[in-house]
Structure 1
């Protein structure tokens, strides 16, 4: 029996007690007794379905059914003493069922993009190991939004092969009534680049569960927002529909509280995305076949561009991206892996439509190994971990990929001339691409010579900023949420 069903049964006992309290005043006593008898029959039917039959509960229930049948057959037996005696029996039965029935948890995960599954995977793994839990992964359909168009998309076929997938058409929220729902997108109608199907808006999901948990698909920045700034982790109207929000650290939790989010909703427990990289750090990585020869013996530079990279300052950003693409011309023993955000093209189409043709041609040229871009690998895979593990240097601004990369303690060439204000990362941990005293091309030469004077400053950095960055976040989130619902 799932927890939701057990709770319904316990609530039904409460309804029977309420009806008994009013029975003496009712004109249609036989009708009320008939309703109570029907409720008891439904409960007995449910108990009969249990794999391990609860004998004490069933025996008591049969006795109470007989007592109601006697009252129905002879209304003269209905008096205060009989009602009080029967009500006491019902309450004892409720306590017996509560103690005797050990429920399982019915849990569903509703991811929408395969590349973002890592934000939920380690929670799912903890649930899958729990014999008192049934967990399903149901990738949901979504729309890619571009100006006036909405492109329906489903990525269930792109999830890791070891994850059992349930198609959304085969999963009924109404029938399942899950005890816990995990999601990594709560933006509903407020998202501008993607939008999950309306059936999976938080306002609808909340109708079917007592525990809707939001685990952000990104890892919140180590640059704390200033008062008044919006933070995607929690500052959105749909937060009212969510029961728990997973926050990566205590400073962000306190900011969320100051922004009006009830403290009881917030759990500072880190991010399962960091669990994925922790696992990779202790596992031999299988690189894509086409990468192996190209990266062997090379200094690998990973260029990470976020989803809104081309939405503003387009010419400036293109200029510098082109500069960085030329790193292999400075260091012959280097190669570039460029990993644009999975939604970059839809972002370009929406915010910089004049750039669409250029972007498509650029990515096609790299993808097709145009000689002009022979030292560049375009990484469009759902799994970002091989790129992080292959990289010797990451060129990036603030973003989730950088945060995961902190665990590797490898070199970062930060896309700027200094660390942003309110950063939890100290300024002496990264190198700066636009530092006039040590420009990026000089740094490239230094890196090729094996120099890394800031290496010591990056040791243990992730653990100083993020809770449970040791790979335990997902398991701890699962246990905390389980304890909450039980």
Structure 2
């Protein structure tokens, strides 16, 4: 029996008790019969609780004829309550996942698959509608991705899942904003401030993964600069892939008055927990052989090594000039990688890139779309706007990206990556072709050994920004031949004696910074939430 159903029965028994005190014995009998039917519907026939309820109905008849007193009924009802608590002890749960964009499903998938395989759990994937916004906050486009899920995911129509009536024990969400995102919003019925009333455990898990290692949470949580998103206020449990992130969140919860003044179902210190991320589970479990390519993509790749080029929202939005430099970088990168015989380019822009330009950089939208169209028309490489990031990771041999969560996910592959100089590009650098990739590789390995990430600008990071980069920020130098050197490393890795040491160190960094890095995060998250719900 589910905990919610047991609570419903106990609530009905409390109602019967009130009616009993008022001498409304016929109403008590109807209520007891209803409880019997409910129990048999949930548990089948043969429970001792139903036998006791039937005997209680007989006692009600005697009490109505004044053959016994109300005290007898009261004791018998207490006995029934005791049996409900013991015989009908919760041993099943219902868990529902409310994803919106399919591209973010990987942050839920391994939890869902674990829950689905548990006979004591009813697990439901219920994709919900989401909307794009104009710059003024109005909605201009509605989306529903429920018809795009892989065949191993059983999708439930959002219109047929009544969350208020079903009251699942656990709800998983990955939208932290409610209505406060400038670019998109989910349907208001699925805002966290509403869902929290329809579950025992509202769980937030991020659809992205960050790459920073924060050793001093106080330093990065200045109350004057702090933005408290709705999930901080409404969720019972917030899950993170790094312990440091959980500690930072605990600090926020313990110091922010908006959080301190709310009574939560979970102790404040237990609301932020590091258990890993299903996104890493997906990186580990996805292999190239299981990812089919469209024929036109296979033709463009033509058995060449693949350079994955990922462009994120944060770099574009954080640029002081509003994104013009970002577009210039796209143009120069594509020019440098056009018509190469040694590498195939696979471009994967953020799924919301066009929408974000439309909402927040409207003046540059046409310029961005022109670049995108030229890339596709000229067949510069694979243009990947599908929801499946993990196919791109599995097929690629190296990564070129700006500051984004995919960089951290790529750590788990052991394959090389480089940070594209966009938002941190030098204004007036010296230009040089003198540094070889052997030198950069040796320096990177040295840094990785020193601190498994070392320190950048006095901030502990698990990825050293200034290596495998086309710019040396310390010496104000731009390496004009960097991209050619990086591609040569990808295509001729066997010629670099230190390549295997680099690969192993990268995997070690990943394992040091991520909780449950072995692909078991979804399993651990599900069982943690189940234990929270059922106790024990």
- TM-score range, shorter-chain basis? 0.7 to 0.9
Question: Are 1:276 and 2:292 an aligned pair?
Answer: no
Contact 2:97–2:124 (CA under 8 A) maintained in structure 1:
yes
Question: Mean alpha-carbon deviation: is it higher for 157-166 or for 321-330?
Answer: 321-330
Which of 94, 118, 130 matches 2:106? 118
Cα distance change, pair 234–181 in 1 and its aligned pair in 2 (3 A): farther
Query: Any idea what the Cα deviations from partners look like across 1:136-184, whole Å, max 9, x if unmatched?
Result: 1111111101213412221111222321211111222233222221111
Which of 404, 407, 418 matches 2:412? 407
Question: Are 1:199 and 2:189 an aligned pair?
Answer: yes
Shift of the alpha carbon at 1:361? 2.0
Shift of the alpha carbon at 1:385? 0.9
Shift of the alpha carbon at 1:430? 5.1
Map of 1:398 onto structure 2: 403
Quick one: distance in 2 between partners of 1:326 and 1:456? 33
Contact 1:47–1:54 (CA under 8 A) maintained in structure 2:
no
Shift of the alpha carbon at 1:223? 4.6
Shift of the alpha carbon at 1:235? 4.1
Map of 1:441 onto structure 2: 483
Quick one: distance in 1 between partners of 2:196 and 2:232? 11
Shift of the alpha carbon at 1:457? 2.7
Query: Any idea what the Cα deviations from partners look like across 1:382-433, whole Å, max 9, x if unmatched?
Result: 0011111122221123322122211111111123479565344153995112
Quick one: distance in 2 between partners of 1:320 and 1:405? 22
Cα distance change, pair 463–137 in 1 and its aligned pair in 2 (3 A): same
Shift of the alpha carbon at 1:35? 4.2
Structure 1: unaligned runs, 5 residues or longer: 24-28
Contact 2:211–2:461 (CA under 8 A) maintained in structure 1:
no
Map of 1:166 onto structure 2: 156
Map of 2:519 onto structure 1: 471
Question: Mean alpha-carbon deviation: is it higher for 169-178 or for 106-115?
Answer: 169-178
Contact 2:339–2:380 (CA under 8 A) maintained in structure 1:
no
Map of 2:430 onto structure 1: none
Map of 2:42 onto structure 1: 50
Question: Are 1:91 and 2:75 an aligned pair?
Answer: no
Map of 1:5 onto structure 2: 5
Map of 1:100 onto structure 2: 87
Map of 1:381 onto structure 2: 386
Question: Mean alpha-carbon deviation: is it higher for 450-459 or for 157-166?
Answer: 450-459
- For the residue of structure 1 that corresponds to 2:206, the secondary structure is coil
Which of 109, 131, 147 matches 1:157? 147
Cα distance change, pair 58–146 in 1 and its aligned pair in 2 (3 A): same
Shift of the alpha carbon at 1:467? 0.5
Quick one: distance in 2 between partners of 1:470 and 1:11? 44
Question: Are 1:292 and 2:308 an aligned pair?
Answer: no
TM-score, scaled to structure 1:
0.88
Contact 1:330–1:445 (CA under 8 A) maintained in structure 2:
no
- For the residue of structure 2 that corresponds to 1:322, the secondary structure is helix
Quick one: distance in 2 between partners of 1:420 and 1:306? 23
Aligned positions, number: 467
Shift of the alpha carbon at 1:110? 0.8
Question: Mean alpha-carbon deviation: is it higher for 169-178 or for 200-209?
Answer: 169-178
Quick one: distance in 1 between partners of 2:201 and 2:466? 40
Quick one: distance in 2 between partners of 1:430 and 1:97? 64
- For the residue of structure 2 that corresponds to 1:245, the secondary structure is strand
Quick one: distance in 2 between partners of 1:310 and 1:250? 29
Quick one: distance in 2 between partners of 1:421 and 1:65? 74
- For the residue of structure 1 that corresponds to 2:386, the secondary structure is coil
- For the residue of structure 1 that corresponds to 2:179, the secondary structure is helix
Shift of the alpha carbon at 1:190? 1.1
Which of 427, 442, 446 matches 2:464? 427
Contact 2:315–2:402 (CA under 8 A) maintained in structure 1:
no
Map of 1:26 onto structure 2: none
Map of 1:219 onto structure 2: 209
Quick one: distance in 2 between partners of 1:100 and 1:71? 27
Quick one: distance in 1 between partners of 2:234 and 2:381? 44
Shift of the alpha carbon at 1:252? 0.9
Question: Are 1:133 and 2:121 an aligned pair?
Answer: yes
Cα distance change, pair 397–412 in 1 and its aligned pair in 2 (3 A): same
Map of 2:64 onto structure 1: 72
Shift of the alpha carbon at 1:446? 4.2
- For the residue of structure 2 that corresponds to 1:394, the secondary structure is strand
- For the residue of structure 1 that corresponds to 2:337, the secondary structure is helix
Contact 2:130–2:187 (CA under 8 A) maintained in structure 1:
yes
Quick one: distance in 2 between partners of 1:445 and 1:348? 30
Quick one: distance in 1 between partners of 2:112 and 2:504? 35
Cα distance change, pair 430–466 in 1 and its aligned pair in 2 (3 A): farther
- For the residue of structure 2 that corresponds to 1:136, the secondary structure is strand
- For the residue of structure 2 that corresponds to 1:134, the secondary structure is strand
Question: Mean alpha-carbon deviation: is it higher for 277-286 or for 159-168?
Answer: 277-286
Contact 1:325–1:376 (CA under 8 A) maintained in structure 2:
no
Quick one: distance in 1 between partners of 2:134 and 2:406? 25
Question: Are 1:334 and 2:339 an aligned pair?
Answer: no
Map of 2:432 onto structure 1: none
Quick one: distance in 1 between partners of 2:479 and 2:458? 21
Map of 1:258 onto structure 2: 251
- For the residue of structure 1 that corresponds to 2:306, the secondary structure is strand
Map of 2:232 onto structure 1: 239
Map of 2:325 onto structure 1: 316
Map of 1:30 onto structure 2: 23
